[in-house]
Structure 1
Amino acid sequence: MNKKFFIALLFLGSSISKAQNLKTVKSPDGNLEVSLTIDEGTLFYTVSYLKEKIMANAPLGIRTNEGNFDEGLSFVTSVSEKISNSYEQDKIKQSQITYTANSLKYTVSNSENKQLSVLFQVSDNDIAFRYEIPKWGETRAIVIENELTGFKFPENTTSFLSGMMHPMTGFARTAPSYESAYNADVPVSGQNASEGYIFPGLFKVEQRFWVLISETGVRSLYPGSHLSNYQEGVFYVDFPSPEQNNGFGSSKAQVGLPGITPWRTITVGEHLKPIVETTISWDVVEPLYEPSQNYEYGKGTWSWIIWQDASMNYEDQKTYIDLAAAMHFKYILIDAWWDERIGYERMKELIDYAASKEVGVFLWYNSNGIVNDAFQTPLNKMNTSIERKQEMQWLKKAGVKGLKVDFFGGDKQETMRLYEDILSDANDYGLMVIFHGTTLPRGWERIYPNFVGSEAVVASEMLVFVEDVRKKEAYNASIHPFVRNAVASMEFGGVVLNDYLNRGNKDGQKRMTTDAFQLATGVLFQNPVQMFALTPNNLDDAPQFELDFLKKLPTTWDETRFIDGYPGKFSVVARRRGDTWYVAGINAESEAKKLQLDLAFLSGKKVTLINDGQKGQTFTKALNIPKNGKSSITVQPGGGFVIVNN
């Protein structure tokens, strides 16, 4: 046989084989496409949007203690389906959601004839994918030692990423706590954080497309993952560092067969609208249990954030209950040390007093006593089943509405199990839960009915402690709607109206943003229960129109819309509750910014504007939005604005 002809036959055979392995799935509108193929025994996927490649030949696969799926793979079969479901969710950015997608389940086998499937679901602008592992003969328990899942971007991609904190560092060795700032517009080739990067991560591809990456559906059956550092053009899904939890517990995934992994999500758009408005974190998960009661959401007061530890006494907390009542807030959060400085008996008196004012109480707890050095009490009440249930029984009897649980040890499966145990037990006793010093919530608003938010951000407490965070407050705030708060609720604890972030409000930690900026963050930062940083003196020293705005401000929404913005520079978002729209914007740049906004949904309506003058003074006035919906707003540096329809 002619040698060239023989080589041509080999090439043709290889091409036919690859073509047979190539499978694609498109979004319902046809704009977003995922293709899967096996190349030289390795599984890859490619993402295209508007026929342009966003990721090309990104790797897939897992390694386990019972078999690997990184090479020598063969195609077995593929199955395509259409998916459509609707659901209601009262704790996220939208209350009525319809999810429509096309799916592709692609099954491969390894050299031991063990099978692995990867399931892709592609909706308009969103991709969710996970691994599905059948039983392997008599094998029913495996350990996934690491994933080969990768996200491969073009070289000129820029990124908006937050570094994973090094374990067992920071205050009382409580890191990682997802409290590192995001760096904006950094070339991916310049990303080399030693611990990798937390979810979510935002990327700008070819200076045209925006891509948001995260994960959802993580519970007690898998560790929380993050992005690796940049390795030869790829960010990989990385498991927790073995050093987390003071070295206790495996950093790998313990999985029973048949089993599944969490969903990894990719949101793609030509602009930031799909990023801000995505609901993919909740579209692909389901509730684990029914709520034990009708949980109510709203705003709260919180003495610790400004008045700090010294306020943990009966009289100061009574004053903050009165503040909550005066502001028509539903809740007060009583923070660390309450058990020692107020005591259980007098705390019951405070809870009763709050109830007489129609204010519910959240109480703070230390999550542990074994994985770090956090010493604040109550301690050792939440990390074991017997003590936790005994404590929750008292909380229910005393009339407490919810918990704030702090100082978790990392993302290992062991810790994910603790989160789930706390939430499940709390629901049995009718208690809502906020997590602090914590990981990113991954679909938890829908998975756990009594979950009402997590910090997992450079939040308001860092404004009090660190001058550099105060200087960058506007910068950080302009990023959150596009990254952190785009995939999960965010318990920030902000809206500071003191000029100085301390009890005296006369000197010290000076606030560097305007009142209008602070009010705007009350809209920009979404969380169903939000503890604001107001202080009792604000009833006298803050303008009445600002207090009136906060009294009416919702914390749950029926709709969210992206209006304008660029992460790290400025942000404008609109949210609707019933028939009332709130449009909020902030400016992180050093010069005043004149914005031309399209507010067609408010065309011809009378609205109230809260804004800043050139000298930083906050004012309010009535406006009429033109029939064409076009509106011009000037936002001062470090300033903000809010528009509310009357």
Structure 2
Amino acid sequence: MKRQIALFVLALGGASLWAQQATVSGPDNLLKVDISVTDGNPFYSVTYRGKTILENSPLGFVSNVGDFSREMTYAGQKSRTVEENYRLDRIKRSEVAYRANELTVTLENAEKKPVDVTFRVSDNDIAFRYEMPRYGETGSIVIKREATGFDFPSHTTVFLTPQSKPMIGWKRTKPSYEEEYITDAPLTTRSQFGEGFTFPGLFRIGDDGWALVSETGVDSRYCASHLSDATPEGLFTVAFPMPEENNGNGTVAPGLALPGSTPWRTITVGDNLKPIVETTVPWDVVEPRYASEHVYRYGKGTWSWLVWQDASINYDDQVKFVDLASEMGFKYTLVDNWWDTNIGKDGIERLVSYARSKNVDLFLWYSSSGYWNDIVQGPTNRMDNPIERKKEMKWMKKIGVKGIKVDFFGGDKQETMRLYEAILSDADDYGLMVIFHGCTLPRGWERMYPNYVGSEAVLASENFMFSQHYDDMEAFNACLHPFIRNTVGCMEFGGSILNKRYNRTNDGGAIRKTTDAFQLATAVLFQNPIQNFPITPNNLTDAPRPALDLVKEVPTTWDETVFIDGYPGKFCVLARRHGNRWYIAGINAGKEPLKLTLNLPMLSEGDEVSYYSDTKDRILQTGKTRIKKPSGVKVTIQPEGGTVLVK
């Protein structure tokens, strides 16, 4: 690749034809990006194995410093090879070797003001961003809008979730990335609310390949973005937050100091789904925002609120869930909303002391708000105010609380991104891990913030309590997440439920439609370093013992993730490794048994594996078997059922 770039640069010097075009490919030369300027408009296009993934797609932005979307000219380029090895223990693999070719193209607008567009291209991933210098005495910039787009061929189908209207839903808390997906829909399908679609978005370009579009590296210096609705020609563009988000507080247009850069927009490409599921690009191109002096311990926790609801947030019931955590060998118990009223700080201090006697630590719930929604669940007005926030965190550190779950954020404006970063930074000062709930998508945060341990940003398990519809759709939605939401970041879902019914006595309320084996499989399929499982004390006697044993055993961090088979919304089989132990999990969203022949290269002939699966009557069955042929392992997954192999 270095030789090719060198020849390309030489060609630029002697042929004006090339002066408006540049090309960069991945190390294996299969993924290629062409950057061009046509009639003053900058574009890029993408091919993989010679097949079109993106047609000419616009680049640029409009700012208070100038218009960088039209009347642009090519001014130069430079290239380099990027090689980095890093370790990260909170994503889908712990050791990452990132190799990419980087091309930076300098463009000038009509006023001769330059902007760099940097592309990094690995074998299956593209990341690009804008980099702006200081413009004379001008030391800051406001980006009014971006022209950045993704123009897919007309035969593309989409797997997308809509951006909601702002200030709607429970206590006016949306958007919170909790809407329902459309799958394999025509390219130009309009979004449900008319506000476009959230990142990430999955696109199937017929038989030519797949593309996952997202962004990463969003911090206090920019807003979070989403995709617009497609034009009739199939062009999606980057859209900024809606003015009404955060109850109208804060600007839509992000502002940043110069020199500065935008977040990275990412495109993962493959002729199958393996690169989509296994991508590490959200973390490959970002850097830590701060170092920590603390060592954080990841693991499982008990969580009373999902099944026992608000009435369980009292001292006696929380003792029961601490005892359950101790019995299960879990590290944590999450104490949810209303603890400030129903337990009080003195009670929490006693609960921390009791939990420690059981080798269990606590996470505490907080509302993020403030002044942008109508939430009454407490504690409120602590996390949005830096003075109150630090007082609260100092108290938590003193008594030994290990983490917080902060809920009900107000949108994607830069103001909210500043709040996320401030909470994370302050929490690390006091040795606290942070989970976000009712929130935006994490965008590279596992690498950027050492105490970040998960975000919801998905139609998660709490909805099973509220409507039977969500229980009916559980298997379908679960078969989407490994391909879309969970592939770009931690997903604090709150799954692996062993109650048959969603009430305290396991005999009323919504009905779980999925099997126990399905629930066990999601403990592997859904990745988050802190997993708060909504098992309940009654499960110690009414759930199958083998199910409890696997929940006790399953890790929450992974050294390797391998995509085995699947199709979004239909079925999914993944293998994850922790140390030298492999967990292979599959689920079936269909209404008929699914018979698969799996290629499992992580197994060897003669290996003994433990299995968990469903009988035809949807009863959990377990046992051991020996692998005869790793490339031809036959499994049957029952409707809305699952399977797990452990070696």
The TM-score normalised by the length of structure 2 is 0.97
1:206 corresponds to 2:231: no
Return the letter of the residue paired with 1:613.
T
SS of residue matched to 1:344: helix
Return the letter of the residue paired with 2:580.
D
Moved over 4 A (4+): 15-18
Residues 83-482 of structure 1 mapped to structure 2, 5 A cutoff:
83-193=82-192, 194-231=194-231, 232-482=233-483
- Comparing 627-636 with 247-256, which one deviates more in the overlay? 627-636
Query: How many corresponding residue pairs?
Result: 631
Distance change >3 Å, CA 462–CA 18, structure 1 → 2 = farther
Indicate conservation of the 8 Å contact 1:18/1:37, yes or no: no
SS of residue matched to 2:479: helix
SS of residue matched to 1:523: helix
Cα deviation for residue 644 of structure 1 reads: 0.3
Return the letter of the residue paired with 1:138.
E
SS of residue matched to 1:190: coil
Return the letter of the residue paired with 2:186.
P
Cα deviation for residue 20 of structure 1 reads: 2.1
Cα deviation for residue 291 of structure 1 reads: 1.7
Question: Residues of 2 paired with 1:205 and 1:195: CA distance?
Answer: 23
> What's the counterpart of residue 513 of structure 1?
514
> What's the counterpart of residue 620 of structure 2?
618
Question: Residues of 2 paired with 1:456 and 1:421: CA distance?
Answer: 19
Cα deviation for residue 208 of structure 1 reads: 3.0
Question: Residues of 2 paired with 1:71 and 1:583: CA distance?
Answer: 51
Give CA deviations for 1:547-587 in whole Å, capped at 9, x if unaligned: 11111100000000000000010000000001100000000
Return the letter of the residue paired with 1:215.
E
Cα deviation for residue 18 of structure 1 reads: 4.8
CA RMSD of superposed structures (Å): 1.0
> What's the counterpart of residue 595 of structure 2?
594
Question: Residues of 1 paired with 2:155 and 2:189: CA distance?
Answer: 11
Return the letter of the residue paired with 2:227.
L
> What's the counterpart of residue 544 of structure 2?
543
Question: Residues of 2 paired with 1:100 and 1:599: CA distance?
Answer: 26
> What's the counterpart of residue 608 of structure 2?
606
Return the letter of the residue paired with 1:444.
W
- Comparing 407-416 with 16-25, which one deviates more in the overlay? 16-25
Question: Residues of 2 paired with 1:472 and 1:52: CA distance?
Answer: 35
Give CA deviations for 1:168-199 in whole Å, capped at 9, x if unaligned: 00000000000012211001122344111000
Give CA deviations for 1:450-489 in whole Å, capped at 9, x if unaligned: 0000000010001111211110000000000000000001
Indicate conservation of the 8 Å contact 1:18/1:38, yes or no: no
Q: Matched residues, percent identical?
A: 55
> What's the counterpart of residue 5 of structure 1?
none
SS of residue matched to 1:76: strand
Return the letter of the residue paired with 1:112.
E
SS of residue matched to 2:211: strand
Question: Residues of 2 paired with 1:562 and 1:315: CA distance?
Answer: 43
- Comparing 595-604 with 360-369, which one deviates more in the overlay? 595-604
Distance change >3 Å, CA 530–CA 81, structure 1 → 2 = same
> What's the counterpart of residue 635 of structure 1?
637
Cα deviation for residue 346 of structure 1 reads: 1.2
Cα deviation for residue 526 of structure 1 reads: 0.1
**Unaligned segments of structure 1, at least 5 residues:** 1-14
Question: Residues of 1 paired with 2:630 and 2:287: CA distance?
Answer: 41
Cα deviation for residue 52 of structure 1 reads: 1.1
Indicate conservation of the 8 Å contact 2:191/2:197, yes or no: no
Cα deviation for residue 260 of structure 1 reads: 0.1
Cα deviation for residue 274 of structure 1 reads: 0.3
SS of residue matched to 1:146: strand
SS of residue matched to 1:536: coil
Return the letter of the residue paired with 2:396.
L
Indicate conservation of the 8 Å contact 1:478/1:571, yes or no: yes
Indicate conservation of the 8 Å contact 1:192/1:230, yes or no: no
Question: Residues of 1 paired with 2:370 and 2:287: CA distance?
Answer: 32
Indicate conservation of the 8 Å contact 1:301/1:331, yes or no: yes
Give CA deviations for 1:242-284 in whole Å, capped at 9, x if unaligned: 0100011001110111110000000000111000000000000
SS of residue matched to 1:167: coil
Question: Residues of 2 paired with 1:374 and 1:104: CA distance?
Answer: 47
Give CA deviations for 1:24-55 in whole Å, capped at 9, x if unaligned: 00100010000101000000001010011111
Give CA deviations for 1:207-237 in whole Å, capped at 9, x if unaligned: 3301001000000000000000112321001
Residues 482-497 of structure 1 mapped to structure 2, 5 A cutoff:
482-497=483-498
Question: Residues of 2 paired with 1:102 and 1:629: CA distance?
Answer: 34
SS of residue matched to 2:46: strand
> What's the counterpart of residue 556 of structure 1?
557
> What's the counterpart of residue 75 of structure 1?
74
Question: Residues of 2 paired with 1:40 and 1:17: CA distance?
Answer: 15
Question: Residues of 2 paired with 1:274 and 1:441: CA distance?
Answer: 20
Cα deviation for residue 19 of structure 1 reads: 2.8
Indicate conservation of the 8 Å contact 2:465/2:509, yes or no: no
Question: Residues of 2 paired with 1:71 and 1:312: CA distance?
Answer: 57
Cα deviation for residue 16 of structure 1 reads: 6.5
Give CA deviations for 1:39-74 in whole Å, capped at 9, x if unaligned: 000000010100111111100000001200121111
